[in-house]
Amino acid sequence: MSLDGSRRRLVLPFSPGKQNGVIGVVGPSPDGSRLAYDVGTDPVVTGDTMWAADLATGRRVALGRFSSDMWRDNTTILATSADGSTLLLINAETGRRSVYLRPLSDRLLIRA
């Protein structure tokens, strides 16, 4: 909505009659253009499905399941895999992910 309260709109619309569970907001991107949030059945359980919504267009992208997450920059989220073993970079526009840091027990790291 605008600062004066006008032009209000629903940011996270859901289909009528569909069970949506609990929404936990990860937070807005640093520039405020996107919102990352988790949707699950229990606010205490980690690893719920994370989504990113473009606040200008309303376009939403499913990002997957993670145990912890935070914005790295305006389009990238730094997240821990659901099993907690790997640190990932996730593109909030496309949902593509890449490994940022492998577990310390990874054979490639040990060999290096």
Report domain extents, the chain.
22-111
For residue 112, what pLDDT band results from cuts at 50, 70 and 90? low
Phi, psi dihedral angles at 40 (to 5 degrees): -155, -165
Whether pTM exceeds 0.85: no
User: In the chain, what is the straight-line distance between the N-terminal and C-terminal CA atoms, in Å?
Assistant: 52
Measured between alpha carbons, how far is 82 from 95 in angstroms, rounded to an integer? 16
What is the signed CA dihedral for 27, 59, 19, 32, rounded to 10 degrees? 10
Please compute the mean of the pLDDT values over residues 46-65 and round it to a whole number.
Answer: 83
